[in-house]
C-alpha cells in the first residue's frame, strides 16, 4: 500500500477544495496535485505546490511586467537560448514542492543535492511504518568489476532468491525488535519502559521507507534530473527521477523540451575530444593510441558517437 486510508482520505478532502488566484496556473499540473505517482513497491511522488510556469522564465529573462511575448514560438526560442547558454537565474524563478515516500538508502543519495529545502518524517517523534523496499529479481546485480560504485551483471536466479530471502528476513526481524524496544501499541507491557524513539530507530534497515517534503527551484531540479535520470544512476533513484519528469513535463513543457535537448540527451565534449572529432571529419582514421585520450575518455567518446572502440 503506497497511501494509507487516512492519507487517501486527506487527499480526497483537499481535492474537493477550490481556491481563487490571480497568479498563473498550469491546468496539466493542477490535475496532478492530488495524485500520488507510484514508485518502487511502496513509494510515491506527489506534487504539493508550485510557483511559475514557462512564461515566468521568459518574464524573468526580459524583466518585464507582462506575461512575456504574445508568440509562443518566441517564448520557446528564448527558453531554448537560455538553456543552451546555461543562463540559470530565469529558471530559478520557478519552484515546485513534492511529497516523496522513499527507502532510507535512496534518501541518503538524494540528500546530496543540497540546493533544495527538505523536511523529513521524524523517527524521533513518530514511529516508522513496517514497510520495506524489496527489489525485483531482475534488479539484483553483482558488483561491477570496472566501477566501484556501480552494479554489474544480474545475479544468478538461485543467488538472487537467496538475497531476497535475506533482505525480507533481516528487515522484518529488525522492525520487530524496533517495535519491542519501543514497547508501544496493543502489545505494550505497562510494567516496563520503552526505549526512546530516537534510539530505537538505529536498529532499522536502510530499505525501510521514510517520507519527506522536498522543494526545489527549476534550475536545481534540472541539475538533479540530469544526474539521477542518467542511465548510469542507480535504478532505485532513477525511477524517482522518471516520476518527477512526468510532473515537470506537464508543468513547464517548453523548458522541459529544452532540458531534454540540451542537457539530458546531449553530450559534452572536452577540447581534446573535439579535436579528435575534427580529425575524423577531415577523413583521418583515428584510434585510441593516436587520439591522445585515455582509455576511459576514448570509450566515452566512441559511445557518444556510436562507433566501435578500437
Write the DSSP string, 217-247.
EHHHHHHHHHHHSSTTS-HHHHHHHHHHHHH
In angstroms, the Cα distances linking 96 to 18, 20, 162, 269 are 19, 19, 41, 32
3-state DSSP assignment of residue 45: strand
199's enclosing H/E stretch is helix 197-200
- How large is the average pLDDT for residues 131-144? 86
Options 148, 228, 279, 307, the catalytic residue: 228
For 17-47, b/e burial (b = at least 16 CB within 10 A) is eeeeeeeeebeebeebebebbebbebbbbbb
Rounded to two decimals, the pTM is 0.89
**How high is the pLDDT of residue 4?**
76
Question: Catalytic residue at 228?
Answer: yes
- How large is the average pLDDT for residues 138-157? 75
Q: Which residue bears the cell 521507507?
A: 209
Mean confidence (pLDDT) of the chain = 90
**How high is the pLDDT of residue 148?**
62
Percentage of residues of the chain with pLDDT beyond 70: 93
**How high is the pLDDT of residue 70?**
57
- How large is the average pLDDT for residues 234-248? 97
Q: Which residue bears the cell 496539466?
A: 28
In angstroms, the Cα distances linking 55 to 58, 62, 80, 247, 259 are 5, 11, 13, 17, 16
Q: For Cα atoms 227, 229, 230, give the angle at the middle one, nearest 5 degrees.
A: 65
5-133+209-264 CATH pick, 3.10.20.30, 3.40.50.2000, 3.30.1360.170, 3.40.640.10: 3.30.1360.170
- What is the band of 27 on the pLDDT scale with cuts at 50, 70, 90? very high
* pLDDT at position 150 over 80: no
- How large is the average pLDDT for residues 77-102? 96
* pLDDT at position 158 over 70: yes
Sign of CA dihedral 145, 143, 140, 161: positive
Amino acid at each position: 500500500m503506497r497511501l494509507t486510508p487516512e492519507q487517501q482520505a486527506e487527499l480526497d478532502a483537499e481535492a474537493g477544495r477550490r481556491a481563487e488566484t490571480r497568479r498563473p496556473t498550469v491546468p496539466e499540473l493542477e490535475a496532478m496535485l492530488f495524485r500520488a505517482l507510484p514508485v518502487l513497491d511502496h513509494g510515491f511522488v506527489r506534487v504539493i505546490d508550485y510557483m511559475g510556469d514557462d512564461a515566468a522564465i521568459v518574464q524573468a529573462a526580459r524583466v518585464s511586467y507582462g506575461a512575456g511575448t504574445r508568440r509562443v514560438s518566441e517564448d520557446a526560442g528564448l527558453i531554448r537560448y537560455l538553456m543552451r547558454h546555461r543562463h540559470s537565474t530565469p529558471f530559478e524563478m520557478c519552484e515546485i514542492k513534492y511529497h516523496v515516500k522513499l527507502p532510507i538508502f535512496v534518501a541518503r543519495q538524494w540528500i546530496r543535492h543540497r540546493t533544495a529545502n527538505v523536511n523529513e518524517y521524524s523517527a524521533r517523534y513518530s514511529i516508522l511504518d513496517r514497510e520495506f523496499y524489496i527489489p525485483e529479481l531482475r534488479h539484483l546485480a553483482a558488483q561491477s568489476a570496472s566501477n566501484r560504485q556501480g552494479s554489474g551483471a544480474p545475479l544468478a536466479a538461485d543467488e538472487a532468491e537467496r538475497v531476497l530471502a535475506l533482505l525480507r528476513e533481516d528487515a522484518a526481524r529488525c522492525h520487530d525488535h524496533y517495535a519491542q524496544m519501543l514497547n508501544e501499541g496493543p502489545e505494550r507491557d505497562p510494567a516496563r519502559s520503552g526505549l526512546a524513539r530516537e534510539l530505537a530507530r538505529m536498529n532499522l534497515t536502510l530499505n525501510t521507507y521514510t517520507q519527506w517534503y522536498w522543494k526545489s527551484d527549476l534550475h536545481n531540479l534540472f541539475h538533479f534530473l540530469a544526474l539521477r535520470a542518467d542511465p548510469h544512476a542507480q535504478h532505485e533513484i532513477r525511477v524517482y527521477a522518471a516520476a518527477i519528469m512526468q510532473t515537470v513535463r506537464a508543468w513547464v513543457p517548453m523548458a522541459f523540451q529544452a532540458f531534454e535537448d540540451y542537457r539530458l540527451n546531449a553530450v559534452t565534449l572536452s577540447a581534446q575530444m573535439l579535436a579528435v572529432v575534427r580529425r575524423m571529419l577531415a577523413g583521418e582514421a583515428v584510434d585510441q593510441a593516436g587520439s591522445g585520450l585515455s582509455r576511459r575518455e576514448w570509450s566515452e567518446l566512441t559511445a557518444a558517437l556510436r562507433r566501435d572502440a578500437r
